[in-house]
């Protein structure tokens, strides 16, 4: 197999040839058809998260076909298309798992962070944390962003409750999917982008946003809720000022720069700040069921596996509309061992 491997945080990924993996009991071996490039991957590569096992193969928006079944796996079949998300394994018995909050498990594993992920031609995954993709009318590349941008966006939107006027801060892979879900639910969406990014603002309007402007602008009306996907702590007080009394600000990312101090009066009148951590398997089941019922359009830019560093660079620099997706293929360039 071929894989793009992170030797140490802050270093470029290295293309390597590795032995083909074999699934242990309870695991699947997948041939990777597509793997989305998520901002969380960027946090792992740039060392913005506590380091996990190294070297590591990043990537947790994986679409693949089943090549082999580990002992005891009966819910999947050879050749079936399945998805692998960020949450890779939980203990199943801590207080959080026991209360239906496995996203907060005390001893979790995460795809592409604590176990090898999908920046590769093959990957093994815990079958209990894989999801059948049958019945979703999208190709492999289009589905890949659903496995994190879509899932985290879904959980973040759920935290907004029954909010009607919703602001999206940071209009990338997650927000462009959340906008479509919110519109399908009859909500009104206000999109906030980097200052002067008229391309992203036009893109948001094309997807149905009722207003789009810079993140430093005031929306034309107070918001019921604001969802923050950009890893910029300064957006929290900005969003608090945009929501009305009783409004909620939801931080949807796994990492964010420090939140600056702000006057208490911006939080007063029962405004709330909440965060989203990881996802649960029920989130995945619910969101994928929604995607089967309601057609979603994912805007993607394809990269060959060997161009993973370029895809990460484009994401880091804000040069993407929608999501970057790696498509593994046979490569002619030299491979390190």
* Greater model confidence, 195 or 96: 96
Structure pTM? 0.93
Is 333's pLDDT higher than 50? no
Residues 123 and 200 grouped into a single domain: no
239-273, pLDDT tens digit by residue?
999 999 999 999 999 999 999 999 999 999 999 99
- Give residue 308's domain range: 2-147+279-327
Within-domain flag for 336: no
Q: Does residue 152 lie in a domain region?
A: no
Which has the higher per-residue pLDDT, 51 or 325? Answer: 325
Question: Mean pLDDT, to the nearest integer, of 113-130?
Answer: 98
Q: Is residue 334 situated within a structural domain?
A: no
One domain, residues 284 and 139: yes
CATH number of the domain to which 63 belongs: 3.90.180.10
Q: How many domains does the chain have?
A: 2
The pLDDT-based confidence of 187 (bands split at 50, 70, 90) is very high
User: Cα separation of 133 and 81, whole Å?
Assistant: 6
pLDDT tier, 336 (very low <50, low <70, confident <90, very high otherwise): very low
**243 within a domain of the structure (yes/no):** yes
Structure confidence by residue, pLDDT tens digits, 196-225: 899 999 999 999 999 999 999 999 999 999
Q: Are residues 74 and 90 in the same domain?
A: yes
pLDDT for residue 64: 98
Rounded CA gap, 13 and 154, in Å? 30
Half-sphere exposure of 119 (CA within 13 A, CB side): 31
- Asked if 9 and 140 sit in the same domain, the reply is yes
As a whole number, the mean pLDDT across the chain is 95
> In terms of Cα–Cα distance, which of 290, 319, 63 is closest to 180?
290
Whether residue 38 is found in the same domain as residue 124? yes
Specify whether 271 is located in the same domain as 196. Answer: yes
What pLDDT score was predicted for residue 193? 95
**Pairing state of beta strands 131-132 and 165-169?**
unpaired
In a shared domain, residues 15 and 37: yes
**Confidence at residue 252, expressed as pLDDT on a 0 to 100 scale:** 96
Integer Cα distance of 86 and 323 in angstroms:
16
Please check whether residues 67 and 182 belong to one and the same domain: no
Residues 271 and 291 in one domain: no
Q: Is residue 294 part of a domain?
A: yes
Give the Cα separation of 259 and 233 in Å (integer). 4
With 50 as the cut, is the pLDDT of residue 332 above it?
no
Q: Is residue 154 part of a domain?
A: no
How many Å apart are CA 40 and CA 112, to the nearest integer? 10
* 139 and 8 belong to one structural domain: yes
Query: Residue range 231-236: average pLDDT?
Result: 97
- On whether both 182 and 244 belong to a single domain, the answer is yes
Whether residue 335 lies inside any domain: the answer is no
- pLDDT value of position 329: 74
* Pair (301, 178) in one structural domain: no
Residue 337 has pLDDT above 50, yes or no: no
pLDDT digits (tens, 9 = 90+) for 8-34: 999 999 999 999 999 999 999 999 999
The domain that holds 234 is classified in CATH as: 3.40.50.720
Share of the chain above pLDDT 90, in %: 95
* Range with lowest mean pLDDT among 39-48, 214-223, 312-321: 312-321
């Amino acid at each position: 197999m071929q894989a793009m491997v992170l030797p140490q945080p802050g270093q470029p990924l290295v293309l390597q040839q590795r032995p083909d993996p074999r699934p242990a009991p309870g695991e699947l071996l997948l041939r990777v058809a597509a793997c989305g490039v998520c901002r969380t991957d960027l946090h792992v590569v740039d060392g913005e998260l506590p380091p996990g096992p190294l070297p590591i193969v990043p990537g947790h928006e994986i679409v693949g076909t089943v090549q082999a079944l580990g002992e005891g796996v009966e819910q999947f079949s050879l050749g079936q298309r399945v998805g692998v998300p960020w949450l890779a394994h939980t203990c199943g018995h801590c207080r959080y798992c026991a209360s239906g909050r496995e996203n907060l498990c005390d001893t979790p594993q995460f795809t592409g962070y604590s176990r090898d992920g999908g920046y590769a031609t093959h990957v093994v995954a815990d079958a209990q944390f894989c999801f059948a993709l049958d019945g979703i009318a999208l190709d492999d590349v289009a589905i890949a962003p659903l496995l994190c941008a879509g899932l985290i966006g879904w959980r973040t939107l759920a935290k907004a409750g029954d909010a009607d006027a919703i602001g999206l801060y940071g209009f990338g892979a997650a927000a462009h999917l959340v906008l479509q879900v919110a519109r399908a639910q009859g909500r009104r969406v206000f999109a906030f982008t980097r200052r002067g990014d008229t391309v992203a603002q036009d893109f948001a309007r094309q997807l149905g946003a009722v207003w789009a402007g810079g993140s430093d602008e005031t929306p034309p009306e107070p918001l019921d809720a604001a969802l923050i996907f950009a890893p910029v702590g300064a957006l929290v007080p900005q969003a608090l000022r945009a929501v009305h009394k009783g409004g909620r600000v939801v931080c949807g990312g796994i990492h964010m720069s420090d939140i600056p101090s702000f006057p208490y009066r911006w939080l007063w009148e029962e405004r709330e700040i909440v965060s989203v951590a990881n996802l649960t398997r029920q989130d995945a089941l619910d969101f994928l069921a929604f995607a089967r019922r309601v057609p979603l359009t994912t805007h993607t830019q394809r990269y060959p596996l060997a161009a993973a560093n370029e895809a990460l660079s484009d994401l880091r620099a804000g040069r993407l509309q929608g999501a970057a997706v790696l498509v593994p293929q046979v490569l002619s360039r030299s491979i390190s061992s």
